[in-house]
């Protein structure tokens, strides 16, 4: 079944956004890992880092971004019923809301914005993601 053009366009925009947000997520993880290691010392292994991501309060604020990427993947992978244009647009709007100052994500935004301000690599990728929203 082929998607109507508007739904296909929305799917393409969401896929592009997802790819950029995934790059942003990695940059934020790298930045937070560095900040954590400055305070607590080196993390012994990738498995140890994964356990910290899952269990340590230091990294808990990242959960909304991680969850959003999972939701994007699920929306893009939906076959029955296929994701509608409305579903795709909602994911784009949810992403914009999370990565912008918001009452709904105030805790996330404060930590995220501090990371954007602290780390030039994160700031560059954040700017690229924001340009995707501005292009709409």
Reported as a pLDDT band with limits 50, 70 and 90, residue 3 is very low
Reported as a pLDDT band with limits 50, 70 and 90, residue 106 is low
pLDDT digits (tens, 9 = 90+) for 15-26: 999 999 999 999
55-63 contacts at long range (C-beta below 8 A, 24 or more positions apart)? 58/32, 59/32, 61/107, 61/108, 61/111, 61/112, 62/25, 62/28, 62/29, 62/32
109-115 contacts at long range (C-beta below 8 A, 24 or more positions apart)? 111/61, 112/28, 112/61, 112/65, 115/28, 115/31, 115/32
Q: What percent of the chain has pLDDT over 90?
A: 59
The predicted pLDDT at position 57 comes to 95
What tokens does 132 get? 């995707």
Reported as a pLDDT band with limits 50, 70 and 90, residue 80 is confident
The answer to whether residue 40 scores a pLDDT higher than 60 is: yes
**Higher-confidence position of 128 and 8:** 128
When pLDDT is averaged across residues 27-46 and rounded to a whole number, the result is 97
When pLDDT is averaged across residues 44-54 and rounded to a whole number, the result is 96
Predicted TM-score (pTM) of this structure: 0.87
The answer to whether residue 87 scores a pLDDT higher than 90 is: no
The predicted pLDDT at position 36 comes to 97
């Amino acid at each position: 079944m082929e998607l109507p053009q508007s739904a296909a366009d929305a799917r393409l925009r969401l896929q592009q956004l997802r790819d950029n947000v995934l790059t942003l997520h990695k940059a934020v993880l790298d930045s937070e890992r560095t900040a954590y290691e400055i305070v607590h010392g080196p993390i012994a292994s990738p498995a140890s880092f994964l356990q910290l991501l899952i269990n340590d309060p230091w990294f808990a604020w990242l959960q909304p971004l991680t969850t959003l990427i999972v939701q994007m993947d699920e929306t893009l992978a939906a076959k029955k019923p296929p994701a509608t244009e409305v579903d795709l647009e909602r994911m784009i709007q949810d992403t914009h809301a999370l990565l912008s100052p918001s009452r709904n994500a105030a805790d996330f935004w404060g930590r995220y914005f501090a990371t954007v301000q602290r780390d030039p690599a994160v700031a560059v990728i954040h700017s690229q993601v924001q340009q995707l929203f501005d292009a709409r």
